[in-house]
Structures are given as C-alpha cells and as structure tokens.
Structure 1
Amino acid sequence: MEQINEKYPEKPWELKPCNFEDLENKTRQMMGNEYWEKNKEDLIEKWKESVNIENKRIKLLRFLSEKDKVTLNEIYEAMGENNTNEVLKILAVMKFQKLIEGIDNRLITISDLGKEYLKNS
C-alpha cells in the first residue's frame, strides 16, 4: 500500500501494464526462472486482464475528453459494456487516481490529470 501512496495520484500512468517481454524478463530477473516457469500461465492471465482494463480506461478517457460532462448511462453505452459493475470498478479506480471528477453527482468529467494520462498513453 505504501508504494501505491507514493505513486498515486501524481503520475498514475507510471503503473500501467508493461509489455509482455518486460513481464517475462522482469519476473525471471526478480523471482528466478523456476518461478516464471511454474507460474507462467497465471502471470500471463493476470497481465492480459490488466492490459484489458487499461484499454478500457484509455477508451473511457478518450470518450470523456470529447465531452464536457457525461452520465453513467452515456458511459455504459460508449463502452459497449454489458457488465456495469466492471465499468463502475474502473471508474472507482480512476476517481481514486484523480483522473476523473464528479461521480457522486452522476455527472462525470475528465480532470486535468486525466488529460495528462491520456497524453502519456
């Protein structure tokens, strides 16, 4: 938790998923070859999930950057996501990272930090 507090919300884009080669290389370097071979499938699945979430985050930020204010229903439609809980989880993290503002009043806007995040993506 301390690492998260050190990184968020100043530059949240620094914790985006790495590319696949870095995942393997860093895991082998830090944990050893045996650990990588034993846990490879699980690590790859978690990495794919984080990349998928990051892609949704970028899609959402792009949508918000084109609009002034949007409602949750507009976000659900734009994301094409049937699972609204998934969208809400992403929004909650983005609110914590201060990439978006205004979830409480049902109108959501992109923050200046969110615009910077989008530029760094």
Structure 2
Amino acid sequence: MSETQLTEKQKRLLAEKKQHEAQGTMKPFNSTVFDVGIPARVHYPNKKDANGKTIYEGEGDKRRAVKSEKPDGYAMEFAVFGQQQFVQVVMPKALSVIPGESYKVTGFGYDMGTHFYIKQEPHVRNY
C-alpha cells in the first residue's frame, strides 16, 4: 500500500470517528413509515447555554425548555409500519407528502419508546 493510499484511508477513518463521536448516544433509524395526515409545523429548537446544555425555565411540573425565536425547519410526523411508534423528522423545508403513502426515513436520533426523534442527517424519500 502506498503512502498516499494510507493517508486517504487514515483520513476516512478519522472522519468516521469524528462523526461517531458527534452522534454520542444517538441511534440510527432506518424504517419504512407512512404519513398519517399530521400537518408539518414550524420547528423551534431548544436554546443552549455556553456549554451546549439546554436552558430550562420554571420548576417541577412546570419546567420547560426555552425555545429559540428562530426556526430551524419543519417538524413532520410519521407512523412506523408494524410498530406502535411515531417518528418525528425536522426537515429544512416542508415536504409534500400524501396521507396513507409509505416513505423510507433514515437518520440519527433518540428512541423514546413510542416516539423516535431524528436529530441528525434526516432523509425522507418515496418507498
């Protein structure tokens, strides 16, 4: 193996390692879903402090995350085929989807039991 090939391989492995570290505890999502007719809505992300932690207001049961004034896209909800689970995807633009139609959704996010929230690398395409 030449030095150039080794360098390219090392660069690729380093990039994969950085991507994995950035994902942290996020899990991959790759499933067939269908649109249940919930309209897309504007999504406002949580505000973060200097350390990257979510800022909260209120106490106890009234504790809520503080939302940004600037939206980061459109939240779309789908139901997962064969499971009692919904998946929420935040896309830069609202997609034109048809209720009852199936789609393939992929990305990385958090599995919260009956809900999966895709936070990184969201992709929605026709099935």
Considering the TM-score relative to the shorter chain, is it more than 0.5? no
TM bracket, shorter-chain basis = under 0.3
TM-score w.r.t. structure 2 length?
Answer: 0.26
Return the TM-score normalized by structure 1.
0.27
Answer 1 or 2: which has greater helix percent: 1
